[in-house]
Amino acid sequence: MKKKVKNFIWSRKFIKESKEKLFKLRASLPVKFYHGANVSNSTGDYIQNTERTKMAFNCRDNKDSAYMQDAWDRTGDCRDCTELIVGVMSYEIQGVEAPHRTIVARSCFGTITDSCYCDMCFSAQDCFGCFGLKQKQYCILNKQYSKEEYFKLKEKIIEHMRKTKEWGEYFPSSLSPFAYNESMAQDYFPLTKDEALTKGYPWYDRPARDYKITLFTKDLPESINNVEGNITTEVIQCATQNDVDQKGEYSLCTTAFNITSLELTLYKKMKIPLPEKCFPCRRQDRFVFRNPRKLWHRKCMKNGCENEFETSYAPNCPEIVYCADCYKKEVY
Ligand SMILES: [Zn+2]
Ligand SMILES: [Zn+2]
């Protein structure tokens, strides 16, 4: 059997039919209201070993926290954080390895302790509004102060920020080096250009693509066996461009793509056909399998069960959504 699988040549037609069968089968089976396990008194999705945590998405080992995304390990008493590993009593954090009692920080490495509004710092303690510092303490706007001066000035700044209503808020979107539609925010919370601009978020207008297509989707080889050696020189049309309905949704579509020789080696090794969509469209296709980072209050769909829960399966989604008990009875 192993040998048979190893030598199997995947054809485009076979993959398409298999996917259709799989989706049909999936649609007939119930799903648990969240992905994950070992969760108590918590809400969210893709969560594991989570206690007393609200609105956690893609999180592991979180306790007593709320509004968390991608927090990977031993995080407690945190709120409004995205991408951290070990977090302790921190707030409004993004991409920080280990924030401890820290308010607003972005892309910092090592442990950041008792600091506020720091960016790209490497292990800092008692720093305020600093950028790119390494193992520093008692700095404000990258300037070194004595311990006494630091705490005096820090209180003054906080007092000012309270008046301007900036204290406790994350860095304003106007300081973002990326436009809204270039960031992952667009994946999870998509906005139209008008909506983004109305909210004051920067938007990036991609230049129009005008590739000279040399290989159309309809002419792509059925399996990797039929691929000619010169495929890496072809400008291949993205299949999304054939579908008028999908074109609008796939705003990141590059309209055409190349196959690199490294990719070709991989496809040959795996015996899978060439892709028919550009990279952003392939990514988008995978992304739709993830549930949104949003919750709806729903009731278990098992007849006779009155259990209710918060779930990322929208009320109009095709899945049969069960509570944990009913799912367990059905599946195990
Ligand atoms: Zn595309
Ligand atoms: Zn139930």
pLDDT tens-digit series, residues 265-284: 999 999 999 999 999 999 98
Ligand located closest to 32 CA:
2
Ligand located closest to 257 CA:
1
| Residue 154 and residue 84 share a domain | yes
What's the CA angle centered on 144, arms 138 and 145, to 5 degrees? Answer: 65
Average pLDDT over every residue of 163-177: 93
Q: Is residue 188 part of a domain?
A: no
Q: Is residue 105 part of a domain?
A: yes
Ligand located closest to 322 CA:
2
Q: Where does the pLDDT of residue 309 fall: very low under 50, low under 70, confident under 90, or very high at 90 and above?
A: very high
Task: Give me ligand 1 centre to Cα 264, in Å.
Answer: 19
According to the model, what pLDDT value does residue 307 have?
Answer: 97
Q: Is residue 108 over pLDDT 70?
A: yes
Q: Is residue 88 over pLDDT 90?
A: yes
| Residue 169 and residue 63 share a domain | yes
Task: Give me ligand 1 centre to Cα 242, in Å.
Answer: 10
Task: Give me ligand 2 centre to Cα 68, in Å.
Answer: 27
Q: Is residue 115 part of a domain?
A: yes
Ligand located closest to 323 CA:
2
Task: Give me ligand 1 centre to Cα 251, in Å.
Answer: 8
Q: Is residue 8 over pLDDT 90?
A: no
Task: Give me ligand 1 centre to Cα 14, in Å.
Answer: 22
Longest pairwise C-alpha distance within the chain: 74
Report d(CA 128, CA 42) in Å as an integer.
33
Task: Give me ligand 1 centre to Cα 223, in Å.
Answer: 20
| Residue 275 and residue 295 share a domain | no
| Residue 106 and residue 165 share a domain | yes
According to the model, what pLDDT value does residue 245 have?
Answer: 62
Task: Give me ligand 2 centre to Cα 308, in Å.
Answer: 8
Task: Give me ligand 1 centre to Cα 198, in Å.
Answer: 28
Q: Is residue 181 part of a domain?
A: no
Task: Give me ligand 2 centre to Cα 304, in Å.
Answer: 8
Q: Is residue 192 part of a domain?
A: no
Q: Is residue 249 over pLDDT 60?
A: no
| Residue 158 and residue 88 share a domain | yes
| Residue 113 and residue 83 share a domain | yes
Task: Give me ligand 2 centre to Cα 302, in Å.
Answer: 5
Average pLDDT over every residue of 187-211: 91
Q: Is residue 313 over pLDDT 90?
A: yes
Q: Is residue 189 part of a domain?
A: no
Spatial contact of 279 and 257, defined as CB atoms under 8 Å apart: yes
Q: Which three-class secondary structure state does DSSP give residue 321?
A: strand
Query: One-letter amino acid identity for 84?
Result: L
Task: Give me ligand 1 centre to Cα 95, in Å.
Answer: 29
Domain residues for the domain of 235 are: 206-287
> Is 202 exposed, middle or buried, given 0-12, 13-18 or 19+ CB atoms closer than 10 A?
middle
Task: Give me ligand 1 centre to Cα 150, in Å.
Answer: 52
Ligand located closest to 285 CA:
1
Q: Is residue 240 over pLDDT 70?
A: yes
Number of domains in the chain: 3
| Residue 313 and residue 256 share a domain | no
Task: Give me ligand 1 centre to Cα 202, in Å.
Answer: 23
Q: Is residue 294 over pLDDT 70?
A: yes
| Residue 83 and residue 28 share a domain | no
According to the model, what pLDDT value does residue 331 have?
Answer: 83
Average pLDDT over every residue of 120-141: 98
Pairing of strands 91-100, 79-84: parallel
Mention every residue, 6+ apart, whose C-beta is less than 8 A from residue 245: none
pTM of the model: 0.88
Q: Where does the pLDDT of residue 244 fall: very low under 50, low under 70, confident under 90, or very high at 90 and above?
A: low
Report d(CA 78, CA 90) in Å as an integer.
5
Q: Is residue 200 part of a domain?
A: no
| Residue 157 and residue 270 share a domain | no
| Residue 169 and residue 59 share a domain | yes
Backbone angles phi, psi at 287, to 5 degrees: -65, -30
| Residue 144 and residue 90 share a domain | yes
Ligand located closest to 239 CA:
1
| Residue 217 and residue 108 share a domain | no
Task: Give me ligand 1 centre to Cα 82, in Å.
Answer: 29
Q: Is residue 248 over pLDDT 80?
A: no
Report the chain's mean pLDDT, rounded to a whole number. Answer: 93
Neighbours of ion ligand 2 (CB under 5 A): 300, 302, 305, 307, 323, 326
Q: Is residue 186 part of a domain?
A: no
Among 123, 157, 175, residue at a domain's last position:
175
Report d(CA 262, CA 268) in Å as an integer.
10
Q: Is residue 120 over pLDDT 70?
A: yes
